[in-house]
Amino acid sequence: MEGLLKLKRRHFNALACSVCALATAGSLGHALAQAASSNLPVVLVVGDSLSAEYGLKRGTGWVALMGETLAEEKVKARMVNASISGDTTSGGRSRIAALLKQHKPKWVVIELGGNDALRGLPLNMTRDNLATMARLSREAGAQVLLLGMEMPPNYGAKYAQEFRDLYTTVAKAEKTVLVPFFLKGVADTKDPTALFQADRIHPNERAQATMRDNVWPELRKLITRR
Q: Which residues are catalytic?
A: 49, 199, 202
Q: Give the residue among 37, 10, 63 at the shortest CA–CA distance from 219.
A: 63
* Sheet of strand 78-81, all strands in order from the earlier edge strand to the far edge: 78-81, 42-47, 107-111, 143-147, 177-179
User: Burial, 209: exposed, middle or buried (Cβ in 10 Å; 0-12, 13-18, 19+)?
Assistant: middle
3-state helix, strand, coil in the chain (%, to 5): 60, 10, 30
Given its phi and psi angles, is residue 120 left (phi above 0), alpha (psi -120 to 50 degrees) or beta? left
Q: E strands of the chain, at which residues?
A: 42-47, 78-81, 107-111, 143-147, 177-179
Q: How far apart are CA 8 and CA 19, in angstroms?
A: 16
Q: How far apart are CA 123 and CA 166, in angstroms?
A: 8
